[in-house]
Each structure stands twice: as structure tokens, then as C-alpha cells.
Structure 1
């Protein structure tokens, strides 16, 4: 019943945010002119954009496959691609991408992968995923002063807020991993403070659950110390993976036959949007991502700004959503089935 209510809430929340986004973006706009511009775009440039979205999903699957192997777990790459698709699909449709990893753990469990192992691996994926954003964001803030003033004057507070939230998140997760005793003390005191303020009810099992969760962080720290080269490679793959998705907008730019803005400028403008919205409690950054695009890409797309946003966002978010949704269905139909079939045949053979 609780899970059903959560699904209904997430579905309604997603529908409301989507409706508000559509209204906010297209209200008062000349939609026929926008559609004409999209029809005139050179669709050949959009094919590589779609391929980059698929590569983005595939990139995480390679990270999962690689880390599973380093943990002594042999999986097929196509199975890891399904895990990755499940994660991206549920991240796209839940606030703050909160539903992705729990569903990945659920499907990994169906493949007989222990929850502690899958949790540690997915936590490292999260840390490196956000770490790459932090590195890019800090690099832009420190070394891209001209870039900031040229494109981001109107959204600097949002950019700095997003960067600060990502830095806090990465720092906090790192403390949890490398200083579990300190993290435990902080979290226990925080829980007791919330209880004293009557913001949560006092429950012994909640404290026990919190203490048990710290085992995951200790296991993560042990993995990181044991496999430093693996982590370096994962960070490298994550960087390429992230850049691939940001590059989709450049192909949209080329599809309209536009010139004057370089590849890296467009790439980093898209990175700015990712940094700004990553920690916000909106499914896929819906609403704020479109608004930021229409603000900072105005000098880039000019009169084709709205069609450019529709195609860029359509490929980068909705394309990702559709591809991952398709393979989530495949995951539901196939993951765990081979092992069940094998166990069934083994049981029949013994009879």
C-alpha cells in the first residue's frame, strides 16, 4: 500500500511538473513557426545526437560491469546495460533522481547480486557522477570568468547554488565513506535533534537502521582503498560519459546550420545547466532546465532559440527517458529469468 501511494504521488507530481513546464515554455509562443523551424532542421545531424544519448546510458553500464568484475562478479554487458537503463528511467521520473538506485538494487538482487555489493558499487557511481560535475563547475567558476560574464550573468546565483549543493553532497558522501565514525556521530546527533524538535517520532528501530547503514560506507571505503586504479578509470569513463550527453546540443546547433559558437562553448553551457539543476528536487530538472536553456543559449541560437531548446531537451532528456523506458521493459521481462530457468532445470535433473 505504501509503495502504491508513492508510485501514485510520483506519477501525479511528474504530470503536474510536465504540464507546468509545457505551459511555461510554450505559452504565448508562435508554435507553427517553431514547428516549421524544426522540420527544416537537417535531421542527419540529429542521428549522432541520439547515438550520444544511447552512449551516455551505455557508459554507466560499462562502469557497473567493470566494478562488478573487480568485485569478482561476472555479468554480461547487456545485463549491465539493462541495470543502467533501469537507473536512468526511474531517475528521470522521480524527484531528485531518488528512484534510480533503489530500482537498480532491486533488479541486481534478481540476478543474485548481494545488496551490500550493489549498494557500494552504486554509491561509487553516484560519487563519481557528481564529482565530475563539481570539477567542471569549479573549473568554469575559477578559469572561465569571460565565459561567465558573456553567457551567465542572468543565472549566476542559480549556477553558484547548484555548484555549492553538489560540492556539499560530494563532501558529505566522502565524509560518510572515509570517516564513518564521525559521520555516524553527526547523523545520530542530527536524528536526536529532530526528535527533540518533534519533527520525527522517536523510534529505536530508526536509530538501529541508521547505524546498520553505516556498514555500507565502511564497505565503500574498503573498496576504494583496495581498488584505487579502478576508481581512477571510473572517473575517466564518467567524464567521457557526461561530455557525450552535453555534446548533443552541439549537434542540434549544427542541424539548424548555425555558426559562430564553438563546440566547447556549447558543451560547457550545457554543463552549466547540469550543474545548476542536478541537486534540485525536480524529475530530470524539468522546468528549470528549459528556463535556463532559454536564458543562456539566447546568444547562441538567436531566433531559433525555442526550436533549439525543444530539440536539445527532446534528445537529451526525453530521448534518454524513452530509450531507458524501452530497456526497462526488457529488464522486467528478462532479468532474473535465466537464473530461475537454470535452477528449475537443475531441480528437474536431480529428480
Structure 2
């Protein structure tokens, strides 16, 4: 009994997260006709397209490991892909289990340190990897907004507001990081001026603490850029892999759509919808964006799936969320075999 209690306490966050996300799905299914629709769809499911959705998720994991490995090998030539893949899966696991996906990067740094990497170098690698992903995601979103803005503006209520807030928030952060790398003094003055203004209009209660937090985050990226260098040969492949990864992840709803024997909606429209779902879900302060992810998927994809939207949400969450937790836990355990006592892997 004591062992069971200790196990529950150790994995309490995982249990709460899974219970919350599962509860949202079950609520939708049993308070609507979702379970009936799912039964009807299963008999007509086109397995080839469903397999492609699953393969896309697996390829996303592989891309995560590849991008991470390029950065790791840059500082540690003897580092290997197996380590990078396990670290990537650990990041996906803890991002799925923590609010705002905040636990992924710290656990990756911790795991890389356990595998023998210097903490500062591990932090620099993860900082560059994170910034790269954010830059590509914002750029991807800007292109799709320009391309599909009119369609979604007329089809989704409050689309303009949600999109603008998401793009401004992410773009502002990237702009600050870039400016900080060019001129730390100018950035500090700008950040302090904005925080003081927000404090005067009662939108920021503790200006000094907020400034220190933002400054600390910018300093991490600044130090990372100095350590990693400015090699174009390093960053171009990482950028290309990241674009491929985001595209694969955005194709999962389309493959699910085709597995339901539907084909009227263009693939580009559904890719755009998934990118917007990811952008909206990022603002949900719950592990795995529980509730927000399902809700935003319902809003953006309901017009495509019609009565089959709830089964679509179920399959999408299983493939793109629950599988990250399941296989992330598996590879977190496997990754322990690469741990070393104190030795640095040069």
C-alpha cells in the first residue's frame, strides 16, 4: 500500500493531466452522439490514410531528434542520434504534462546533463532549438494567414482577434531576442519602458520582478548564440528539418479527414487550420492545453468534419498527444541507459 501511495504521489501530475484530458473527451462523447458516429465511422475507416496520420506523428519525432542532434554534435562531436532522439521524446513528454508546455525544455537540459553534457551547453542547445521552432512557427503562420485569411475570417468567429493576438505575442518575443543579440542596452531600455507603461495602466503589478524575468530569458538566448556561433551550415539544415516537422504535424488532421472517406477540402486549408489550432492552444494554461486544444480543433475543423468532428478529435488527440505521453515515457526510460556518473561526453 505504501509503495502504491508513493507511486501515485510521484506520478500525480501525469494522472491529473490524463484524467483531465480524457474527461473532456468523454464528456463530449457521452453528452452528444459522438460515440454513435464513431461506431459508424470505424466500419468505413480507410486504414491507409489513418496509417499515414500515424506515420506523420512518428516522423515528427524523428525530425525532433534530427534537429536536436545537429545542434548537439556541433558542440559534442561524439554525441549520437540515439541520445538526441531520447532527449527529444523527453521534451515532448513533459511538454504534454505541464501547463504552457513549460516542463519540456528544463527536463531536456536535465537529461542531457545526466548523459554527460555540460549544463550551460545543454541550455544553449535547447535555447537555440526552441527559438528556431518559434521563428519557423511564426513565419509559417504569417504565410498561411496571408494566404487563407479571407476564408477563415468568414468561417470562424473572432478569427481575426485570435490570430492577431497570437502572432503579435510570438513575433514580439522573437523581435526582442533578435534585438537583444544586436544591442542589449537598447533592448533593456525598451523592455523597461514597456513594463513601466503597463504598470502605470495597472496591467503589471510587479514591474521589477517582471523585468528581471524577461531579462533573464533574453540573456539565455544571447549566451546561447555566443556559444553556438553563427554557422549558416549549422542553422539551415535545422530550419529545413523544423519546417518539415511542422508540416508533417499539420498534415495529421488532413490524413484523418481522408481516412473518414472525405475529400472535398483542400489539403492547404486543413494545414492552415491546424497551424491556427496550435497557435490558439498555446494560450491555454493547462497541461496539454486540455480543453483548449479540443475546443479550438472543434471550432476550426467542425465545418470540415461535420457530424464526424468528435471522432476526429479523439483520433487526433490519440495520435498527436496521448502517443507523445506513452512513447515519451518509454524513451525516457530507455534514455537512462545513456546516463553517466560525472563524465562529460566530448
Q: 1:212 to 1:152 in 2, by over 3 A?
A: closer
**How many correspondences in the alignment?**
329
Contact persistence 1:56–1:245 (CA under 8 A): yes
Secondary structure of 1:82's match?
Answer: helix
* Gap change, CA 1:54 and 1:267, over 3 Å in 2: same
**Match for residue 108 of structure 1?**
112
Aligned-partner Cα distance in 2 for 1:296–1:213: 33
1:63 matched to 2:67: yes
Task: Assess if the C-alpha contact under 8 Å between 1:178 and 1:218 holds in 2.
Answer: no
Give the match for residue 4 of structure 2: none
The secondary structure found in structure 2 opposite 1:285 is coil
Pick one of 315, 318, 323 that aligns with 1:311: 315
Cα separation, partners in 2 of 1:156 and 1:28, compared to 1, 3 Å: farther
Bigger drift between 306-315 and 180-189 goes to 180-189
Deviations 1:188-245 (A, max 9, x none): 8969x99xx985999xxx97x9988776433323256531332222111111101111
The gaps in structure 1 that reach 5 residues or longer are: 344-351
Tell me which residue corresponds to 2:274: 270
Residue 183 (structure 2) pairs with residue 179 (structure 1) = yes
SS of the residue corresponding to residue 264 of structure 2 reads coil
TM-score (norm 2): 0.82
Q: Is the 8 A contact 1:162 1:277 kept in 2?
A: no
* Match status 1:328 vs 2:332: yes
Q: Is the counterpart of residue 258 in structure 1 residue 262 in structure 2?
A: yes
Separation in structure 2 between the aligned mates of residue 165 and residue 231 of structure 1, nearest angstrom: 24
Counterpart in the other structure of 1:96 = 100
Q: 2:152 aligns with which of 144, 148, 152?
A: 148
Instruction: Please point out which of 245, 251, 254 is paired with 2:249.
Output: 245
Q: Does 1:120 align with 2:124?
A: yes
Contact persistence 1:163–1:276 (CA under 8 A): no
Give yes or no for the alignment of 1:39 onto 2:42: yes
User: What is the aligned counterpart of 2:24 among 21, 24, 27?
Assistant: 21
Unaligned 5+ runs, structure 2:
1-6
**What are the Cα deviations for residues 243-281 of structure 1, in whole angstroms up to 9, with x where unaligned?**
111111111111111121111111111111012222432
Q: CA deviation at 1:11?
A: 4.6
- Checking the alignment, whether the CA contact within 8 Å between 1:177 and 1:220 is kept in structure 2 is no
> Would the alpha carbon gap of residues 116 and 268 (structure 1) be closer, same or farther in structure 2, given more than 3 Å must change?
same
- Could you say which residue in structure 1 is the equivalent of 2:3? none
Aligned 8 A contact 1:87 1:101 in 2: yes
Question: Is the Cα contact below 8 Å between 2:68 and 2:84 reproduced in 1?
Answer: yes
Question: Structure 2 vs 1, CA of residues 179 and 80 (structure 1 numbering), >3 Å: closer, same or farther?
Answer: same
